[in-house]
Structure formats: structure tokens, C-alpha cells
Structure 1
Amino acid sequence: MKKATLASLAAELKVSRQTISNVINFPDRVRAETRARVEAAIQRSGYRPSAAARALRNQRAMAIGVRLSPPRNGISGSFMDAFLREIVTAADARGYRVVVFPATSRSDEVERLLELRGSLAIDGGVLTDTWTDDDRPERLGEAGVPFVSFGRPWGSADHGAWVDVDGRAGAAAAARFLRDAGHERIGFLGWSDGSPVGADRRAGWADELGLTDDDATALTVEGPDTAEAGASGMARLIDGGATAAVCASDSLALGAETLRRERGLAGPAVVGFDDTAVARSMDLTSVRQPVEEVARTALDLLLERLADPGVTLQGRLVEPVLEVRGQSMSGTRSRASV
């Protein structure tokens, strides 16, 4: 069977080569009906863009750099592993390679990206683990290195080149689920490291329940992101009169639910975050972050910047999904959009 080319696909579908190129690189520019036809033909034919040809034509490396995420516990770390896998898959489908590199700090990460860009090994980079007053976007912007970040610019100027999951909405949905399950005093198990992501999730929980600052403080227990901290935190919440908890992670939820089961408590009372394999095996309700959508959106933004360095980008929030398990109010398993 003859290998499919851009020209043969264009002839088969009676569209221009540019249309096919746009479907591969900038799908939002193509009408949905045409995009579906082209994508189906690409999949059927096994067509793959030539990275070498595109690199020579565009004077690009056809590669992007991503820092290997710092080690986390085996539960929470699985989400960033999934993100890396999805960004590699999405980039490959668009004819790009991903250069994965280690870095000991955020500052070191910027230096590595500058080095890779300076040696023409990459065209741009993907930042993760954004933090309050994170200076990485500013430094890369000043150096002229195209980038996109998975995470908002917490407390910094909005550069627009970001995608994030609406953790506040996810935590609000978790609190709503527990309230609808009959709980009147719902606590929050969070992180003690000052994470803006954790603070955002806590705000969603408190807002949904209409808590005053004093009430929210009394119902919050923070600690490291471990199952042990979740268990001890849940014990403190129960001792303080709470009957349920929204957790900033599945690690904390694992400990909280284990403590409840050891005490013989039943019924839906703990909601985690990230919908990891641990949550699924424990039959725990958890907030799922649509990692595939996040990765593809991040790549789309970066490629848009590479195509037009002067383009004005707008950050995008992705809606999470509450994956309900165990006995819901209707007595069945369900999935709830946030």
C-alpha cells in the first residue's frame, strides 16, 4: 500500500493541503465537519507529518521542552505522570517531539529551557507546578522563549499562555455532593505547604457551604500530602463534630476513609481529588481532572504562539468532573459535571 502524503490526502478529500495542515496544527481554524473528515482520513491512512521536512521548512527544532516533574508520593504523583504522557502523545500526533529534562528547582528549570532553546534543541517549553509570584513566565518572556504553563499565574501578571483545571469548582461540587448526602458539618483536609492550588480548592469548599472565615478555620485541617496526614486529620475533624470531609487530594482521602472504616463508619463521607487508581480501587468519590483535554489545550496554545509570536493568548480553565462512587443519593453510581 502506497504511503499516504499530504498531497494524496488533499486529492482524496478534495481540500487544500493548507486545510489538512490546519487540522493537524490548528484544528480550531477548520470547520467541525471538515475537520472530522480530515481526521478520519488521517487515522484511516496512517498518515504522519514529516518532522524533518517541517523542521527544514520552518527552521524549527519541531520539539518542546518539559521538566520531569519532581518526585511526589505514588498517589498524587500519578496525575503529573499522566499529564506528561498525554503531552507527549498530543505532540507526537502534531509532528513534535518532547524533550524531557530534570531540574532541581524552578530557577534551574528556566536555565535548562534557555539552554535548550539557545542550542536550537527546542522551540518552546511547557511549565508545570505554578506557584504564587512565580517568576518563570516573566524570565522566559524576557528571553523570548515561547512557553505555556499548566497552572495559572497565581499573584503575577496574567500572560495568557496558560491552562488550568477549575479546582475551586471541583471542590464546590464535592462539598455539594456531601451536603446532599445529608452531612451538615463538612470539614476540609488540605496541604500545609502554602500551595495556591490547595488554597483555591479550600475556597471552593468554603464558598459552597457559605462558611465564615472563623467557621472555615475551625473545619480545616492541613498537613503533608500523605495518607497518614489524612487519617490524623479526619480523626481531628470527627472529634470536632464533623461527619464528612472534602480532601485536596486522593492521598488525604485514602487516609481519611481508612480511618472512618476502622471506626466502623459507613456511607459516603469523603471526597478526594484527582480520581487516581487508588480512589477507584477504594470505591471513593473523587474529582477528576480531564488530563487529556488539559494537555491538548496546552499544546494548542504553545503551537499558536510558535506560529505567531505576537498573538495575544487567553488563559483557559477546564471544568473537572465529580466521579461519584459507592452509594449516591439515588443508590446508583453516577458521574456529575461540575
Structure 2
Amino acid sequence: MGTKTLADVAAHAEVSVQTVSNALNNPALLKRETLERVLLAVEALGYAPNVQARRLRQRTVATIGVRIEPITDNIASSLLDRFLHELTARADERGEHVMLFTATSGEEEVRKIGELARQRAADRFVLTSTHAGDPRIAALLASDMRFVAFGRPWSPAPTHSWVDVDGAAGVGEATEALIDAGHRRIGFLGWPRGSGSGDDRRLGWARALRQRLGFDEAMLETLTARCEDRPDEAVATAQRLIQLGADSLVCASDSLAAGAIGAAMQLGCSLPVIGFDNTSLAAGIGFSSIDQSLGDVASAALTAIDDDAPFSTSIVRPQLVRRDHPRWGIAPAASTP
């Protein structure tokens, strides 16, 4: 049948070539009846992929706006960079684009999103670094913006689309790997109470120890230590756990895991340590860590903002990345010095 052209679509729809061009590039310029006629011709002739025709029906553009955070030298910043890379790559596979913009506050981010939408530079958005009671959610819902949040609401919030990582499942898998290796006093080094993702990660550790070893809440609390997400604070906190007899440690982040290894070195001992995020820190030092499967998160986010449903939620299961470091790897308990 040959490749179809704009002229073929125009003839089929009984409109001008310019009208077809407007339908493909500036659908807001056309009356609804005319746009629908062009779209029917597009689909009938196979001129555009179905996903493109769908965007045209919804009067959307193929560009997704995402705010980039200020440059900081920390784990959260490197994770966001990895997520943006995955989001851009997955969007490209779908014939979509990612537009990055800056903002110094949540209020400015919401304002810039409104500007980008009015300019038709982007009309779907991904929110990152979400938190309990995030005011951006309500503001975007009130503006009728199509968006998805990377991070579930950890407190009562308006219904909206979100994608998150199943931290409890990932930490549970890590804890079970240590149990299978013969460890019985597995400590948990986490963040202060009240952190939604931190509490969720501890839940996976606690659930595995209850189900596999019969631990009660008192025993779990004895093996729990909490501090801010800084390696220097984690050193002193982890030392207390090790001195209480912890034979291995599961940590809420790679930063805490690095601190735990520092604590073990100061005490002159070795034990398995597992982090969370699978950053370059974990690879460089050589400890096991839980990878957030950011490629899957990016794909789920793109699916959510293309979904016709009023809202969509998805939880991605992370994966344990094992490393066999002689001092920090998941070694059998009997061979751990």
C-alpha cells in the first residue's frame, strides 16, 4: 500500500493538508468535529501510531515535565539522577520526551507547571521527592493537571496517581537471605520514627524475623537502632547494635550501611551489611544492597500518566543485589569472624 502522506490523510478526511498539520501539531486550533474526522483518517490509513492518535484525541503533547533538584552531593541526588535517566530513556522508547525545569520551592514548581501547560510545552508531569501532606498534590489536582508522583502518600491525601517502590518487600528479601545464611541476631539500622519509607522498610525486616524466627516486639525493638541518614551518625548508632550482639545488619539506606561498616571497622570485627538503593557507594565498598528497579518505576510512571482512568497506583518490587565481599558480604554465619 505504500507510505501514507499528509495529502492522503487530507483527501480521506476531505480537509486541507494544513488542517491535517494543525491536527497533528496544534489540535487546539480545530473544532472538535474536524479533529475527530482527521483522527479517524489517521487511524484508517495507519499514518500515525495508535499512541499518537490517542494523544491527539486527548489534545496532549508528547512532553513530560519534571523538576530537577538543586545540585547536592548526597545519595538522594544521585538516585534522582538515575531516575531521570531511566525516565528519559523509557519515554524515548514510547516516542515521548522529558522536559526538565528548575524551581526553588514547591510553590514555584506548581507555578512553573501551570506556565508550561499554558504554553503547551508540556502537559503531563512527574513529581519527585514527595512527602506526607505534600501541598503540591492538592494544588495540581485543583488545577486539573495530569501528573503522577514518585512516592506514595504516607498520610491521608487526595486521591491521585502515584508509583512507589515496595521497600518492605525488598528489606524482607534481604533479611530472609541472612536468615538462610544462618544469622539469627539481625539488626536493623533505620531512620527516626515517622519516616513513611523508613518505617515501611523496617516493617519488612520485622515481618521476616517474626515469621521465620518467632521474634516478638520486644526482641525486635532491642535489635533496632535509629539515626539521621548520615554515615557519621550511623557509626556510633551501629556500634551499639554490634555491641549488643547483632551478627548482621540490614540498613534503610546505603549511607547508613556505610556508617555501619565504619562502626565494624572501628570495633575490629566483620559482619554482613545490607544497604538500600544500590548506589555507587555500595558497589565501591562492596556491600550488598537493595536496588529500587528505577527502570520499572519510570515505566510505571509513564503508564500512569497515559492512563485514561482518573488515577492509577503501582508498587514496584525492588531486587536484592548480592556482593561477596569477604568482610561485608552475605556469608554463612559459621564462617563470619
TM bucket normalised to smaller: 0.7 to 0.9
1:2-26 superposed Cα distances (whole Å, 9 cap, x missing partner):
xx9788xxxxxxx976597247899
Which residue in 2 is equivalent to 1:297? Answer: 300
Contact 1:190/1:202 (8 A) holds in 2:
yes
Amino acid at match of 1:228: D
Which residue in 2 is equivalent to 1:172? Answer: 172
Q: Which runs of 5+ in 1 are unaligned?
A: 8-14, 27-53, 332-338
TM-score of the aligned structures, taking structure 2 as reference length:
0.75
For residues 287 and 19 of structure 1, what CA distance do their matches in structure 2 show? 44
Select between 150-159 and 17-26 the one with higher mean Cα deviation.
17-26
Given the alignment of the two structures, is residue 246 of structure 1 paired with residue 244 of structure 2, yes or no? no
Contact 1:189/1:220 (8 A) holds in 2:
yes
Q: Which runs of 5+ in 2 are unaligned?
A: 6-42
2:260 corresponds, among 209, 234, 256, to 256
Task: Return closer, same or farther for 1:70/1:95 CA change in 2, 3 Å cut-off.
Answer: same
Task: Return closer, same or farther for 1:60/1:160 CA change in 2, 3 Å cut-off.
Answer: closer
In percent, how many aligned pairs have the same letter? 39
Which residue in 1 is equivalent to 2:148? Answer: 148
- CA apart distance, 1:296: 1.3
- CA apart distance, 1:182: 2.5
- CA apart distance, 1:235: 0.7
For residues 213 and 87 of structure 1, what CA distance do their matches in structure 2 show? 40
For residues 332 and 103 of structure 2, what CA distance do their matches in structure 1 show? 48
- CA apart distance, 1:160: 5.1
- CA apart distance, 1:257: 1.5
- CA apart distance, 1:221: 2.1
Count of paired positions: 287
1:12-44 superposed Cα distances (whole Å, 9 cap, x missing partner):
xxx976597247899xxxxxxxxxxxxxxxxxx
- CA apart distance, 1:112: 2.4
SS at match of 2:84: helix
Contact 1:76/1:249 (8 A) holds in 2:
no
1:315 corresponds, among 281, 292, 313, to 313
Task: Return closer, same or farther for 1:240/1:18 CA change in 2, 3 Å cut-off.
Answer: farther
Which residue in 2 is equivalent to 1:220? Answer: 224
Contact 1:153/1:159 (8 A) holds in 2:
no
Amino acid at match of 2:68: L
Task: Return closer, same or farther for 1:71/1:215 CA change in 2, 3 Å cut-off.
Answer: farther
Contact 1:223/1:229 (8 A) holds in 2:
yes
For residues 96 and 62 of structure 1, what CA distance do their matches in structure 2 show? 5
Task: Return closer, same or farther for 1:222/1:71 CA change in 2, 3 Å cut-off.
Answer: farther
For residues 294 and 17 of structure 1, what CA distance do their matches in structure 2 show? 35
For residues 185 and 239 of structure 1, what CA distance do their matches in structure 2 show? 12
TM-score of the aligned structures, taking structure 1 as reference length:
0.74
RMSD across aligned positions (CA)? 3.1
For residues 234 and 53 of structure 2, what CA distance do their matches in structure 1 show? 44
For residues 18 and 195 of structure 1, what CA distance do their matches in structure 2 show? 50
Which residue in 2 is equivalent to 1:128? Answer: 128
For residues 215 and 252 of structure 1, what CA distance do their matches in structure 2 show? 21
Task: Return closer, same or farther for 1:110/1:285 CA change in 2, 3 Å cut-off.
Answer: same
Which residue in 2 is equivalent to 1:272? Answer: 275
For residues 134 and 245 of structure 1, what CA distance do their matches in structure 2 show? 32
Contact 1:237/1:243 (8 A) holds in 2:
no
Task: Return closer, same or farther for 1:110/1:276 CA change in 2, 3 Å cut-off.
Answer: same
For residues 92 and 322 of structure 1, what CA distance do their matches in structure 2 show? 28
Amino acid at match of 1:240: L
Contact 1:187/1:219 (8 A) holds in 2:
yes
For residues 330 and 218 of structure 2, what CA distance do their matches in structure 1 show? 30
Contact 2:185/2:247 (8 A) holds in 1:
yes
Task: Return closer, same or farther for 1:70/1:174 CA change in 2, 3 Å cut-off.
Answer: farther
Which residue in 2 is equivalent to 1:113? Answer: 113
- CA apart distance, 1:58: 6.8
1:166-222 superposed Cα distances (whole Å, 9 cap, x missing partner):
001111112222222232222221223842111111111122212544443333222
